[in-house]
């Protein structure tokens, strides 16, 4: 797969302005290269994937009335960013997870089971 250069894009745009934007088959000329969907990567493992996965795994076996206690200094990013990533993951999974922090630790525990709304 060849990537388009800026010059390729500018040349194509110049052709469009000059009226040469339609190929002989009647379809507009593409600016960018194309690829089959089989070549497109799916899924995403962001920079918080490992820590969020580890937290979710530990939460699965966490007994009611207990919380995870994670040293803030050992987090791969800020508490705010890790909490945001955890929030996105738990919402996607439909889990209710609660968090709290102090100067040294991030505390995480399971909330009450989420009740699904009937529609």
Q: Give pLDDT tens digits for 11-36.
A: 766 666 655 555 566 677 777 888 89
Average of per-residue pLDDT across 50-74: 95
For residue 74, the model assigns a pLDDT of 95
Give the SS3 label for residue 28. strand
Decide if pLDDT at 41 tops 80.
no
| pLDDT recorded at residue 118 | 65
In the chain the first and final C-alpha atoms are separated, in Å, by 46
């Amino acid at each position: 797969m060849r990537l388009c250069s800026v010059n390729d894009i500018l040349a194509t745009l110049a052709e469009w302005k000059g009226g040469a934007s339609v190929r002989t088959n009647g379809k507009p000329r593409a600016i960018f290269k194309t690829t089959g969907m089989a070549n497109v990567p799916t899924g995403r493992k962001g920079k918080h994937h490992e820590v969020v996965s580890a937290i979710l795994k530990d939460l699965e076996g966490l007994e009611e009335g207990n919380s995870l206690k994670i040293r803030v200094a050992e987090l791969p990013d800020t508490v705010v960013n890790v909490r945001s990533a955890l929030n996105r993951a738990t919402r996607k999974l439909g889990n209710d997870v609660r968090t709290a922090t102090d100067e040294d630790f991030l505390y995480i525990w399971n909330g009450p089971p989420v009740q699904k709304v009937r529609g």
